[in-house]
Chain A
Amino acid sequence: SQTIHQWPATLVQPVGSPLSLECTVEGTSNPNLYWYRQAAGRGLQLLFYSIGIDQISSEVPQNLSASRPQDRQFILSSKKLLLSDSGFYLCAWSAETDINEKLFFGSGTQLSVL
């Protein structure tokens, strides 16, 4: 069966520090991968999605970046965190890009930038 792992679960970082959140999927190949951010009490904002290695689309301009060094690995990074980067980050995957394909989510990372 497929599983998705996301870490760390919580992270407290000072403003200006770098960030690296990692997400891996097991039990499937060539998944579509996604990074979402959820601000406190808000909906999910799509940040990045990837349909293959080195194929990454960015949805919103920001100081975050994403990379997919391996088929089932998706990394969210920042060189210098801002206060506004605080939030709950969710990684997700789907098998295909059909309209009926649901997303499977990781357990999330609560990031607090102080």
Chain B
Amino acid sequence: AQKITQTQPGMFVQEKEAVTLDCTYDTSDPSYGLFWYKQPSSGEMIFLIYQGSYDQQNATEGRYSLNFQKARKSANLVISASQLGDSAMYFCAMREDHNTDKLIFGTGTRLQVFP
């Protein structure tokens, strides 16, 4: 069964607007970590934000915030005030406590920011 699901293959957003990238996950482990990575056209993977399953607050890092809804098993990334440089692939990933050796990724969402 797929552990991480990103249902939006592509998203468009106008510069300076906010955008939400969806991510749902599947795990029976009560303890896990959720990550978002950005992959520009250069191919490098850039870590953006982390959310632990026991964290009480939603994670925030600058213009990035994570809308964590534990009961719904969703961890959506919100990018505020989009910039042209935000155009990239975005990947959601999960690491489970019973199997911490592995970080499992979703299929990604391609975000395009237009002027």
Question: CB within 8 Å of B: which residues of A?
Answer: 32, 34, 36, 42-46, 49, 51, 57, 59, 88, 90, 92, 94, 97-105, 107-108, 110
Secondary structure class of chain A's binding surface, majority of residues: strand
Question: CB within 8 Å of A: which residues of B?
Answer: 6, 31-33, 35, 42-45, 47, 50, 52-53, 91, 95-97, 100-108
Contact in complex: A99, B95 (CB < 8 Å)? yes
Contact in complex: B102, A100 (CB < 8 Å)? no
- Which 7 interchain pairs have the tightest Cβ spacing? A43-B107, A99-B33, A105-B45, A97-B100, A44-B105, A108-B43, A102-B47
* B7 CB, min distance to chain A CBs, angstroms: 13
Q: List 11 A-B contacts (CB under 8 A).
A: A36-B105, A43-B105, A44-B45, A59-B102, A90-B45, A99-B100, A100-B33, A102-B35, A103-B45, A104-B47, A108-B43
Complex Cα spacing A92 to B47, Å: 12
B53: chain A residues within 8 A (beta carbon):
99
Contact in complex: B100, A98 (CB < 8 Å)? yes
Complex Cα spacing A104 to B103, Å: 11
A42: which of B32, B45, B100, B107 is its contact (CB, 8 Å)?
A: B107
Contact in complex: A97, B52 (CB < 8 Å)? no
Complex Cα spacing A110 to B71, Å: 39
* A90 CB, min distance to chain B CBs, angstroms: 7
- Most A C-beta atoms less than 10 A away, residue of B42, B43, B47: B43
Kindly list 16 other residue pairs between chains A and B, CB separation below 8 angstroms, not including A43-B105, A99-B97, A110-B43.
A34-B103, A36-B105, A43-B91, A43-B106, A43-B107, A45-B105, A94-B103, A97-B100, A99-B31, A100-B33, A101-B33, A101-B95, A102-B47, A103-B45, A103-B47, A107-B43
Closest chain B residue, CB of each to CB of A32? B101
Complex Cα spacing A90 to B97, Å: 24
Contact in complex: A102, B50 (CB < 8 Å)? yes
Closest chain A residue, CB of each to CB of B54? A99
